């Protein structure tokens, strides 16, 4: 059979299926695969810089610490050999952190060989499938798999066993303003809220509606209804821009001053005057107050 026709195992079947491949095992001096679990010093392990997970709940870590102190580590960590008795985590950072809290000196591990590209894919896929990531961390993981690992959405869909629409919906979250992304990351709003906010065209409207969600504890259905009403009541952008141009000419002529006008499709905006001196400012104030 042609080797090109053999289908490569998909990462979507899970990291464990990849690690069952003895081609990734570290070999001993006599070149026999090390298939068993090893114990190594916790101090010799460094965390994985490619891990997309950045938040680890303290309460959860202390619960895991208590379990480890009572029962030990049930599922070994997976690491790669870095040389000189140094290792780097591929998966199991929660167990690693909880083991530190428990004061363990040694931990059980599977030792594997992986280059940086494989490390990134392994870490991202492992976390997407097994860890309780928030929506923004998942979105960032998807984006990194697409960009840094140079995958197409079809390839990514196959690797993680998710639909293309699921992937696209998460990646779209990264277009939201930073304030809303932070709220989503901290679970102040749900992904349903965020998707409804994405249908608003301006960041200003998105942030305004986001604050309404937080202040009034609005449901996703409430937001979807509010968004529909906002769109139906919004004035034509073309009419707004025509109004701006006509008004600007009239105001400049009357006040003899350069101005700037900015407006949004919903009709709100800002009018600014420019003045060159204190005397010029006093003149404008008198005109504005009609004195």
- Please state, in angstroms and rounded to a whole number, the distance separating the CA atoms of residues 217 and 188: 10
In the chain, the number of structural domains is 3
Q: Which of 18, 49, 56, 46 is nearest to 132 (CA)?
A: 56
Name every residue whose Cβ is closer than 8 Å to that of residue 246 and which is 6 or more positions away in sequence: none
Q: Verify that 98 and 21 share a domain, yes or no.
A: yes
**DSSP character at residue 186:** T
Identify whether residues 28 and 128 lie together within a single domain: yes
Q: Does residue 62 share a domain with residue 86?
A: yes
Catalytic residue among 46, 70, 93, 121: 93
- Final residue in a domain of this structure, among 108, 132, 156: 132
Q: Which domain holds residue 280?
A: 237-288
Report yes or no on 167 lying in a domain: no
State the average pLDDT over residues 80-105: 86
Checking if the pLDDT of 161 tops 80, the result is yes
104-128 as b/e, with b when 16 or more CB fall inside 10 Å?
A: beebbbbbbebeeebbbbbbbbbbb
Residues 47 and 71 in one domain: yes
State whether 109 and 197 are in the same domain.
no
Within 8 A by CB and 6+ apart from 125, the residues are: 11, 12, 15, 145, 159, 160
Contact by Cβ (8 Å): 70, 102: no
Statement to judge: residues 220 and 242 lie in one domain: no
Which of 132, 153, 170 represents a domain boundary (last residue)?
132
- Output DSSP code: residue 103: T
Global confidence as pTM:
0.47
Please check whether residues 111 and 198 belong to one and the same domain. no
Q: What is the mean pLDDT of residues 174-184?
A: 88
User: Which whole number is the average pLDDT over 102-108?
Assistant: 92
Domain membership of residue 164 (yes or no) is no
Each residue of 12-36: pLDDT tens digit?
A: 344 444 444 444 444 333 332 334 5
Q: Crossing angle, helix 191-198 and helix 220-233, to 10 degrees? A: 10
152 within domain boundaries: no
Q: Does the annotation mark 93 as catalytic?
A: yes
| Residue pair 115/88 in contact by the 8 Å Cβ criterion | no
Q: Which of 38-42, 56-60, 224-228, 285-289 has the lowest mean pLDDT?
A: 56-60
111, 225: one domain: no
Same domain, 50 and 89: yes
């Amino acid at each position: 059979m042609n080797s090109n026709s053999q289908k490569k195992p998909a990462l979507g079947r899970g990291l464990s299926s990849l690690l069952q491949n003895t081609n990734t095992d570290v070999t001993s001096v006599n070149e026999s695969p090390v298939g068993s679990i090893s114990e190594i010093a916790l101090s010799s392990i460094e965390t994985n810089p490619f891990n997309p997970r950045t938040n680890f709940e303290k309460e959860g870590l202390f619960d895991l610490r208590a379990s480890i102190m009572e029962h030990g580590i049930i599922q070994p960590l997976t690491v790669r050999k870095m040389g000189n008795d140094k290792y780097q985590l591929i998966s199991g950072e929660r167990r690693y952190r909880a083991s530190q809290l428990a004061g363990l000196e040694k931990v059980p591990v599977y030792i594997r060989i992986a280059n940086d590209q494989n490390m990134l894919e392994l870490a991202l896929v492992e976390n997407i499938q097994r860890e309780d990531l928030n929506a923004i961390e998942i979105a960032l993981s998807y984006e990194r798999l697409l960009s840094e690992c140079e995958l197409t959405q079809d390839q990514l869909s196959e690797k993680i066993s998710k639909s293309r629409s699921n992937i696209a919906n998460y990646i779209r979250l990264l277009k939201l303003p930073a304030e809303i992304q932070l709220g989503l990351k901290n679970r102040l709003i749900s992904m349903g809220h965020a998707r409804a906010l994405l249908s608003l065209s301006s960041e200003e409207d998105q942030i305004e509606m986001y604050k309404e969600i937080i202040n009034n504890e609005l449901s996703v259905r409430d937001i979807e209804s509010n968004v529909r009403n906002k769109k139906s009541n919004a004035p034509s952008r073309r009419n707004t821009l025509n109004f701006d141009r006509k008004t600007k000419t009239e105001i400049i002529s009357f006040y003899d001053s350069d101005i700037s006008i900015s407006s949004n499709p919903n009709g709100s905006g800002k009018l600014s005057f420019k003045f060159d001196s204190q005397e010029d400012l006093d003149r404008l104030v008198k005109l504005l107050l009609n004195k």
